[in-house]
Homo-oligomer: A and B are copies of this chain.
Amino acid sequence: MAPLQDDKAAEVTEVSIPKRPISTVVFIIAMQKEASPLVEKFQLTQESNSVFPNGVPWVRYSGKYKDLNINIVCPGKDVVLGVDSVGTVSASLITYASIQALQPDLVINAGTAGGFKAKGACIGDVYLASDVAFHDRRIPIPVFDLYGVGTRQACSTPNLAKELNLKIGKLSTGDSLDMCPQDETAIVANDATVKDMEGAAIAYVADLLKTPVIFLKAVTDIVDGNKPTSEEFLENLVAVTAALDRAATQVVDYINGKNLSEL
């Protein structure tokens, strides 16, 4: 029997923007240390009755803050190695599972990032990403090359950016903390100001499931500086996380009571 023709392309619709105040927000945060201050700030509690499958290390904190249902979802600790499950694979899975289970009005990916001083980034800056793309998916076949780069725009939030005086820049994502020459070439081609390990994968899943997403990225290390990324990252993680959490709180306060189209 011949398979049916795939006519799914015809079904694709735009990201839907409901004309009512934002009600449910899901933060996707890769590292526990990045999430903990926000969990406290919003007085969230860890859900013991998980919406996720048995055995996965994914952690969800939730609670009511002002008029919003806030969820913070982390990929949790690798069950064998005990380190945070960073990177695109875990981020994709928790974004998918969270959107399916919680049907949020908005996904916010908040986290630390490397910044490029050549593009104006300084340690402690918090960026709102305008666009995201991958820099480590090189597929040198026509059209597949574009698929690999996977550029996507974040949900447009001009009022939020202006009101909170956030820096705007492009975000480039790869699964390595360091940057090899091929990554660098791709990052330059992506015109990126900040570099992380999850954003473009989260954008891909959010786009697939027609869910608006924004990206808050706080700079822990200068990629085009003198210090090794891993050293600088660990040195600044706690202080920069505080800056990230201040910005995330401001974003949530601003969002409260507004429609997506007002952001």
A positions within 8 Å CB-CB of B: 1, 3-4, 6, 8-9, 11-13, 36, 39, 43-46, 48, 53-57, 59, 61, 76-79, 81-83, 85-89, 92-93, 96-97, 100, 134, 136-141, 143-144, 146-148, 174-178, 180-182, 201, 204-205, 208-210, 228, 230, 233-234
Contact = CB atoms under 8 A, between A and B. Distances in A.
The 6 closest A-B pairs by CB, nearest first: A138-B176, A137-B175, A3-B46, A180-B182, A4-B46, A139-B177
A88 B85 contact: no
Contacts of A182: 176, 180, 182
B79 A9 contact: yes
SS of A interface (majority): loop
Contact of A81 (B147, B177, B208, B210): B147
Given A6-B77, A55-B11, A55-B209, A1 B144 contact: no
Nearest to A96: B93
Contact of A82 (B143, B177, B181, B204): B143
B177 A138 contact: yes
A139 B86 contact: yes
Given A3-B61, A56-B208, A93-B208, 5 more contacts: A89-B92, A92-B93, A93-B93, A96-B96, A148-B176
B144 A86 contact: yes
Given A9-B77, A57-B6, A88 B88 contact: yes
Contacts of A228: 140
Task: Determine how many copies of this chain the complex contains.
Answer: 2
A228 B138 CA distance: 14
Contacts of A77: 6, 9
Nearest to A179: B138
B8 A57 contact: yes
A9 B82 contact: yes
B83 A144 contact: yes
Nearest to A234: B141
A157 to B, nearest CB: 22
Given A55-B13, A57-B8, A177 B39 contact: no
A133 to B, nearest CB: 13
A31 B87 CA distance: 24
A189 to B, nearest CB: 14
